[in-house]
Structure 1
Amino acid sequence: MTPVSQDFAPPLKLIAPFFDFGVLFYLLSMLALLFFEPTFSYQQMDVAGWVHLFLLGFVMMIIFGAMAQLIPVVLEVGHVVVDVYYIILPLLALGTVVMVLGFWLMPALLPYGGLLVLIAMIIFAFENIATLKKTELRTLTVDTVAWSNGYLLLGILTGFALALGLSGDLGINVSLMLKAHVYAVLGGYVILTIMGLSLTLIPMFSLAHGFDETAVKRAFKLVILSVALVFVGAVLGFEWLMMIGYALSFAGIFFYIWQIYIIAKLTVRKELDVWAKSIIFAFVTLLLSILFSIVYFITEQETALHTSVWFLLLGFVTFFIIGHLYKIVPFLVWFERFAPLVGKEKVPMLHEMYNKEGAAMMFWFTSAGVLLGGAGLLFESGILFKAAGSFLFTGAVFLYITMKKMLAYGE
């Protein structure tokens, strides 16, 4: 298990707004789902707008906030310039809004929104890289941070090229560049980051110790190589190279899931709280995503691809993030507001700092929405998909309310 220290943690006032905005963007993206149909193409501008609202506004916003806290904690060194996060937040938030408006209403806005996001992510990546150079630790988590930030730079550069291409300012093959962009961001940054965080957070919250890391090391190498092959194949138009990359991705994810299984067998904490339920559901939907992606490669049915991506994003990524919010946010609030009071007066336990009923409602509505949405996409059922949107939006409301209360606890 990766060692963790709180000595270099930045203040709550820097991190909390990332979680505030991230949950708000999640709520808006679930609301927007109500206006979509289960039949679509990923090259549709309105679909691209929703994907960027979800990925930039929710996933990236939460990850950036979490990494602002976890990078110095895991590396055991302070940020080189921690105050840049006060700049990153408004740039990313405004850039997301402008990009979504560009996709939905006025394509000419895309380069401007894309430029704001590009600046925010370049600042984030270079600050992380500079912080990495300060540490003497050489763990898998450190390597994951380094590689994921490298792929993030590739992803945002190809994304900016796409923004110029869609606005008519740059002549590019949009289809191939889109594949390179998606794989660099999702596979190279989001998945690698989740893999690195898993090795720290899941053992820490489940109290699992002394496990072998061979499987995740293999997963790490395979995913890094697979993203590189898909990216190069997409840029150069080599379909065969991309297929090799896809195959290596499956192998990498298999070893990652095997590593999580090894950790799960050693867990001491048996309580099925909202974190444990969310992590279990996340990996169930990851398996479903893999299953439907295999079906897609065999049958080339677009509905299988849509279902696979749905379970990956709304199932695995969403529940991995949401589940950890119910652990990370109470700890950050407790550490900031109650740690100095230990030994002087009674302080709350972490599990007392969020509403369990609200968290349970969030979990059941959101998980039901994910399953209904997957079925709606697979069978192209408008009724099922609309029902899924309603459940997901309701779950998002409960998440927003419980998150606001957690962040305000003890003020």
Structure 2
Amino acid sequence: MDGIPGGLRTDQQPPMAIPLRHFVLALGFLVVGVGGSTVMTVATLPGLAGLAHLHLLLVGWIAVTIMGAMTQFVPVWSGVTIHSRRLAVAQLWLVTAGLTGFAAALLAGALEWLPVGGALMLAGIWVFVYNVGRTLTRARPFDFTERHFAFALACFGLVAPFGFLLAVDFTTPAFDSVAVSRFEVHLSHATLALFGALLATVVGALFQLGQMFTQAEPGRLDERLLTLEQLCFPAGIGVLALGRGLTIEPVARVGAVAILVGLAAFAIVIGRLLAGATVERSPMIARYWVVVSALLAWIALAAPTWWAEPIAYGSLFGHPDAQRLLLFGVFGFVVIGSLYHIVPFIIWIERYSDRLGFEQVPMIDDLYDDRLERGDFWTTLVGFGGLSAAPLVGLPSVAVTASGVLATIGVALFVINVLLTIHQHGPNGIAGVLSSALESEQESPTAGDGESDLGVSPDR
């Protein structure tokens, strides 16, 4: 996509280093998580390696990326200034330090240190919820994306204390004096985290990004499907989490059905937008096709499982063998595809927007390497496709290992491409993104000044 959005007021945007710092550190967690996954296919890691691996990917990669993206694009989409730049910086370091300590404690078996890491993550997530929430409250009335973001923030706010209590309970009983058990809290925590905090954010962002990258407009059928999604999906998450927390199977089943109906309606809308695209192939469009396909496949697998056993631990994330399909096919390809625009866009605004009209400047899609992008797409698609299919069709171990290697190579190509983009085009390179604190010392304008990041909000 080469078009540059009009009306941007770059002097009001969060400093470039703030979201980019989130993305760089999230990429680090991605490399560690995928590398660990590859190692786990051929060897046994110490301690609670599976739990550490899951948190590194979901919190370190997906959630930290979401935190950086919301910090940058809630102001852009909603036409309001970020509440506090200092808090946007603090949230990252709190979550990063907490997750690093949490994962290290799990791997080392030092469970007594889990509450320390959990407390830091709790503080960082609550800072994020407060900062972005204060920003979002100034955007009224909410559109589709903003409603999903507000719901996701509420889920983030609930997930963090549940996670902290679960960390404490590893060594000190935290649920003996209450009516719920660790198992029930764990089910609700995982449900709100995966579907409420993460997937609701993806749904809200993907609708906006899908229109932007396809240059297609939703039709009357799409509007009805989106209405159905908004009625079913958020309510379904709440009902499923409640049913699982109280171990009431009929309640959980109603919530599960509502989630699947809402997601199916949304997947059809995005598929129709992609089919009606009026632009050529882009990294975003190619990966969003994978997202739609993976989401529909996951729904088909999850439906009978959730109908039969909605509160069973094995069906926590849908079909017990479809976890990778959801984690990588949906979350992974959404994040990778979106970052292929978000990172170059932020850098372009910072470095080249002021030169437009005065000299020849590259377009957004010129900032990354096309060959690396296509290479990472195909290797990642084949690799994660093999890993996702392996438990479903019983692939031989050599095919699983080969798929893991390909997936690792694909992720490495993606990370290299993004880091090269920052290094070659960012004003201060990667070191500047990680070390610069100057921008964060200057607070953004207050909510009462009436200024916005956009001359006209894109949806109003």
Q: Specify which structure has the higher proportion of helix.
A: 1
Contact 2:264 2:299 in 1 (8 A): no
* Counterpart for residue 145 of structure 1: 149
Q: Give the superposition deviation at 1:349.
A: 1.4
Indicate yes or no: 2:234 matched with 1:220.
no
CA spacing shift, 1:178–1:381, aligned 2, 3 Å: farther
* Counterpart for residue 320 of structure 1: 334
> 2:308 and 2:158 mapped to 1: Cα distance?
31
SS across alignment from 1:170: coil
Indicate yes or no: 2:95 matched with 1:92.
yes
Indicate yes or no: 2:94 matched with 1:68.
no
> 1:286 and 1:383 mapped to 2: Cα distance?
27
CA spacing shift, 1:5–1:54, aligned 2, 3 Å: farther
Indicate yes or no: 2:411 matched with 1:407.
no
SS across alignment from 1:305: coil
Contact 2:387 2:404 in 1 (8 A): yes
* Counterpart for residue 393 of structure 1: 408
* Counterpart for residue 113 of structure 1: 117
Tell me which amino acid in the other structure corresponds to 1:62: T
* Counterpart for residue 443 of structure 2: none
Q: Give the superposition deviation at 1:121.
A: 0.5
SS across alignment from 2:382: helix
> 1:406 and 1:261 mapped to 2: Cα distance?
30
Indicate yes or no: 2:320 matched with 1:311.
no
Matches within 5 A, 1:6-405: 6-7=8-9, 8-37=12-41, 45-105=48-108, 106-171=110-175, 173-209=181-217, 211-212=219-220, 213-269=223-279, 271-297=280-306, 305-378=319-392, 379=394, 381-405=396-420
> 2:106 and 2:294 mapped to 1: Cα distance?
29
CA spacing shift, 1:382–1:177, aligned 2, 3 Å: farther
> 2:306 and 2:260 mapped to 1: Cα distance?
12
> 1:322 and 1:49 mapped to 2: Cα distance?
22
Q: Give the superposition deviation at 1:188.
A: 0.9
> 1:294 and 1:310 mapped to 2: Cα distance?
16
Give per-residue Cα distances to partners, 1:16-58, cap 9 Å, x unaligned.
Answer: 1111111111111110012324999xxx932111110001110
Query: How much is the aligned-residue C-alpha RMSD, in angstroms?
Result: 2.4
SS across alignment from 1:167: coil
Q: Give the superposition deviation at 1:155.
A: 1.3
Q: How high is the sequence identity, in percent, across the aligned residues?
A: 22
Contact 2:191 2:240 in 1 (8 A): yes
Q: Give the superposition deviation at 1:264.
A: 2.6
Tell me which amino acid in the other structure corresponds to 1:350: I
Q: Give the superposition deviation at 1:369.
A: 1.3
> 1:148 and 1:195 mapped to 2: Cα distance?
10
Tell me which amino acid in the other structure corresponds to 2:301: F
The structure number with the bigger radius of gyration is 2
Contact 2:257 2:303 in 1 (8 A): no
Count of residues in correspondence between the two structures: 405
> 2:89 and 2:15 mapped to 1: Cα distance?
12
Normalised TM-score (structure 1): 0.92
Give per-residue Cα distances to partners, 1:221-240, cap 9 Å, x unaligned.
Answer: 21111111111112222122
SS across alignment from 1:35: helix
Greater shift in the superposed pair: 390-399 or 162-171: 162-171
> 1:240 and 1:274 mapped to 2: Cα distance?
42
> 2:272 and 2:288 mapped to 1: Cα distance?
14
Normalised TM-score (structure 2): 0.83
Q: Give the superposition deviation at 1:312.
A: 0.5
> 2:164 and 2:7 mapped to 1: Cα distance?
37
* Unaligned stretches of 5+ residues in structure 1: none
Asked which structure has the greater RCO (Cα within 8 Å, sep 6+), the reply is 2
Contact 1:101 1:109 in 2 (8 A): no
Give per-residue Cα distances to partners, 1:136-184, cap 9 Å, x unaligned.
Answer: 3331222112111111111112111111122334236232222101111
Contact 2:236 2:256 in 1 (8 A): yes
Contact 1:279 1:320 in 2 (8 A): yes
Tell me which amino acid in the other structure corresponds to 2:39: F
Q: Give the superposition deviation at 1:241.
A: 1.1
